[in-house]
Amino acid sequence: MAPEAMGSANSNSALTGLEFLLTRAIDRRLLLRARSVLYYSFVLALPLAVYLSTFASPALRVTETDKVAHQEVLEQIPGSIAGQTANTITIPNGSTLVEGWYLWLFVCAAITGQVFIYAVYPLKCRKYIYWGAAAVIICVGMAPIVDLIQHPADHTSRKTFFFAFTAHQPLFWCGAIAALLFGQFWSEGRFARTEQ
């Protein structure tokens, strides 16, 4: 995805017929669009495969011992019903719903990653920013795990966000698609103006 990767010249380019790729005689927007398809294919292949696999058995049965959380799940998630045994909840499309949530998060992360790469590219210290962002992402990624170990009962913000997703899935997906298109066209315009 990084534009500087395009500037590496091959000494045998004239022999392989790739010299036109190293010049400005190509549609740079189309080149970035092809790179974006490859990028999104790598990032979203596994989450999409897991999401599609849930259609084989979409029902989800969960056990919730906290009475307040049990009632919240029954009220907030459409189609959820109390199970035959105590503290169990059956959600007819629960597996599909949860994996759809994870897929939506991956899509948002992929869009943010692409826009970040092209926003930082013109800066002179971009490599330090890339590595700094990677370190922050690793630390932020570990934070929910540490938080879950230290405060297992306090997940109100994530729970509220998940319930909002379950109630307004079309709105969340339309927002993600709009962000994807905006980010793609913005990145194409930025890439087209970069000097190689």
What DSSP string describes the chain?
A: --GGGGG---TTHHHHT-GGGGSS-S-HHHHHHHHHHHHHHHHHHHHHHHHHHTTSS--EEEE---HHHHHHHHHHSTT-EE-SSTTEEEETTHHHHHHHHHHHHHHHHHHHHHHHHHHHTTSTTHHHHHHHHHHHHHHHHHHHHHHHHH-TT--HHHHHHHHHHHH-HHHHHHHHHHHHHHHHHHHHHHHHH---
pLDDT of residue 189: 84
Digitized pLDDT (tens) for each residue of the chain, 196 residues in all: 555 555 554 444 444 555 555 555 577 788 888 889 999 999 999 999 999 999 988 877 777 666 776 677 777 777 777 777 777 777 788 888 889 988 998 999 899 989 998 888 888 888 899 888 888 877 776 656 555 444 444 556 777 888 888 888 999 999 999 999 999 999 888 887 765 5
Nearest to 114 by CA among 15, 167, 39, 13: 39
pLDDT of residue 44: 92
Residues in the chain: 196
Are 63 and 32 within one domain? no
pLDDT of residue 137: 79
Are 84 and 102 within one domain? no
CA distance 35 to 27: 13
Are 160 and 150 within one domain? yes
Q: Is residue 32 situated within a structural domain?
A: yes
Are 80 and 145 within one domain? no
Are 86 and 123 within one domain? no
Are 133 and 39 within one domain? yes
| CB 117 within 8 Å of CB 90 | no
Are 159 and 78 within one domain? no
Are 47 and 138 within one domain? yes
| CB 26 within 8 Å of CB 20 | yes
CA distance 155 to 147: 9
Are 121 and 72 within one domain? no
Residue with structure tokens 């998940």?
162
Are 98 and 144 within one domain? yes
State the residue range of the domain holding 79.
59-92
The sheet carrying 88-91 orders its strands as 60-63, 88-91, 81-82
Q: Is residue 190 situated within a structural domain?
A: yes
